[in-house]
Amino acid sequence: MSVIHLKTPSASYDITIGSGLLRTLSSRLKKLRDKKPFRTFVVTSPEIWGLWGRKFLESFAEPPTVLFLPAGEAHKRLRTLESLTEQMAEAGADRDALLVAFGGGVVGDVTGFLAAIYMRGVPYVQIPTTLLAQVDSSVGGKTGVNLAAGKNLVGSFHHPLAVLADIDLLGTLPAAELHAGLQESIKAGVIRDASLFRYLERNADTVLSGDAKALAHVVAASVRVKAEVVASDERESGLRMILNYGHTVGHAIEAATGYKQLLHGEAVGWGSIAATRLGLMRGLISDAEASRIISLILRYGPLSGFTATAEKLVALTSSDKKNRSGTLSFILPTGIGAVEIVRDVTKAELLEATAWMLALMREKTRGTAAKKRA
């Protein structure tokens, strides 16, 4: 079991990574609340509850109130948030309520935002059930929902009391979800941890097989990267922006496809390839290291294909929440384990890098389709 402590100016909490955490869940929650009386409200999806609900409830003498959030980005909207707040109020939730996010990234983001605004703020705990949520979205206090104009445009910073990443929960994860989540770990290696990147290179077969020990290592290393960055820059005024490597074009891909064709990690994978190509075009990274990054991203695929033009994707980047005073910031790799924040990327450069990524996407997805037919 690994315990990583995250301390920021506004919060201090542990991220616990290990197996069998659900078995002691009730006592862990009581310890977090200093044994004060509280009621537990769980936000989860029907699918996750069907798989893990019985195990979740085993340690509780009095079952918590369960609120269901349908799976998928389409439900990460303000109307869903309103429905959940109404359900909490009807169930008698007060300021001593404890919310628990039990699901993937969408459940975590929505529950965190619900905790931030219900009665002007109640505590919550993250229990991420997907690899992507365990290595990235459950840590750092970012919460929010999407608008038609773009992803995560409405939200707040609201840290959990704790994050409990139970590796056992990954055992029922579909292969595509596992592969997509690993794109965020590749990101962590590219931006700050060359040793994690090398581990992912050398142990790809073991990691992709779902080996619990290997996954625990990858989750812990990825979380350490994020915890270090968030501790240095809680509100994304500088360094924390490096966590957005691959996300500018990735979010544009998600918007262009209506959040229906790709998993978030897959979109980040293609966005990371575009950002790496842009770094290569600018001479920030060597051919050899850029090739290693792109090869590793593809090794942890296959990444789903999609239909969009470079012009459409570039236009959609203008809605990215990382825009400041009309200037779009890009995170470009300068080597494996290091990146640079660049604020003068031109439209022509972005079009060229995005078109190159799309050509590669078409080539790789044609090859995948041909193998399936064979």
Tokens of 312: 């459409």
Question: Which residues are annotated as catalytic?
Answer: 120, 142, 184, 226, 236, 240, 244, 247, 251, 264
Cβ neighbours of 342 (radius 10 Å): 18
Listed residue (140, 148, 160, 311) closest to 233, CA to CA: 140
What tens digit of pLDDT does each residue of 15-38 get?
999 999 999 999 999 999 887 789
What one-letter code names the amino acid at 245? Answer: Y
CB 16 within 8 A of CB 2: yes
Q: Is the pLDDT of residue 177 over 80?
A: yes
Res. 328 pLDDT band, cuts 50 70 90: confident
List of domains in the chain = 2-172 (3.40.50.1970), 175-373 (1.20.1090.10)
| First-last CA distance in the chain | 43
Tokens of 183: 């794109």
What tens digit of pLDDT does each residue of 208-220 get?
999 999 999 999 9
Q: What is the DSSP letter of 263?
A: -
> Tell me, what's the pLDDT at 374?
47
Q: Is the pLDDT of residue 71 over 90?
A: no
Residues counted in the chain: 374
Q: What is the rounded average pLDDT for all residues in the chain?
A: 93
Which of residues 372 and 295 earns the better pLDDT score? 295
CB 267 within 8 A of CB 253: yes
Q: How far apart are CA 300 and CA 200, in angstroms?
A: 9
pTM: 0.91
What tens digit of pLDDT does each residue of 106-119 get?
999 999 999 999 99
> Tell me, what's the pLDDT at 368?
61
